[in-house]
Amino acid sequence: MMPRLSAHMTVMQAAAQRAAKRLLRDFNEVENLQVSVKGPGDFVSQADIRAEASIREDLEKARPGYGMLMEESGASGSEKWAWRWVVDPLDGTTNFLHGIPHWAISIALEKRLADGGSEVAAGLVYAPVAGEMFWAEKGVGAYVNDKRLRVSARRELKDAVFATGVPFAATSGANRLAFARTLSVLMPQIAGVRRFGSAALDLAWTAAGRYDGYWEMGIKPWDIAAGMLIVREAGGYATDALGKDTVAETVVAANPHLHAKLLEVVADGLAAGRG
């Protein structure tokens, strides 16, 4: 039975659903969008900007005073925030701009801890084309719409399908080398590797057991903050390259049987990339 949504999650889902309506209209007219280039292989469109503005408006109205960390506009609000929204209004922009229906909205809520650190208290990844709302709150569990999520139960690498993000033009040389090393070690041992182009959905699908694990290097907080919590609340592990439960530039997520194995290969790859 799905638990009753908290006030925070109610706000988050409503903001995501409102922004999704305009994104879906834009997606159906993607050839008319004006696109500017932020960097090689990294695009921003009117759709991103409008979606972020919509989400910001709804979150600020519901919770004035909360901090913000958003993909397009960066950090805002007090540096001494007690709560902070971490938002990617359109994860999978390149898919979106090519008419590929695999993209999502990601919203996480970060809580400041007494020791000065922070933790993600709630997160959602909403895939409007598929009509799937992946969401989790710390200690409550993970769900897609009203269905409880659990990570896969596969134990052997030979049976596993992993997701990843393939480096593109803006990726650092060290991360390209690290990725190549990791992939070359994994490929002979596993059932397959998938690259679908949305880190947020890669994590959500790992939580749903569709993937057995996921790794990526050179990632941003707004891409993975929500998804990492969803994986953990679905019974999996989602860590940085050192195995710590922190949002960092490398993410490694998998079910409990495969996480340590994947983490070892990724760590070795990163060491090789550093030379």
Query: Which DSSP string do the residues of 112-164 spell out, in sequence order?
Result: E-TTS-EEEEEEEEEETTTTEEEEEETTTEEEETTEE--------GGG-EEEE
CA 52 – CA 197 distance, rounded (Å): 20
pLDDT digits (tens, 9 = 90+) for 235-255: 999 999 999 999 999 999 999
CA 199 – CA 205 distance, rounded (Å): 10
Domain layout of the chain by residue ranges:
7-148, 157-274
Question: What confidence score (pLDDT) does residue 169 get?
Answer: 65
pLDDT digits (tens, 9 = 90+) for 148-195: 999 999 999 999 999 999 877 667 777 788 889 999 999 999 999 999
Task: Let me know: does 170 contact 42? Beta carbons within 8 Å.
Answer: yes
Task: Let me know: does 127 contact 207? Beta carbons within 8 Å.
Answer: no
pLDDT digits (tens, 9 = 90+) for 18-55: 999 999 999 998 877 778 777 656 778 889 999 999 99
38, 144, 169, 55: which is closest to 93 by C-alpha? 38
Region 157-274: CATH code: 3.40.190.80
What CATH topology corresponds to 7-148? Fructose-1,6-Bisphosphatase; Chain A, domain 1 (3.30.540)
- Output the six-digit token pair for 61: 């109205």
CA 272 – CA 42 distance, rounded (Å): 26
CA distances for 51 relative to 55, 71, 100, 258, angstroms? 6, 11, 18, 36
Q: What is the pTM of this model?
A: 0.94
Percent of the chain with pLDDT over 90: 79
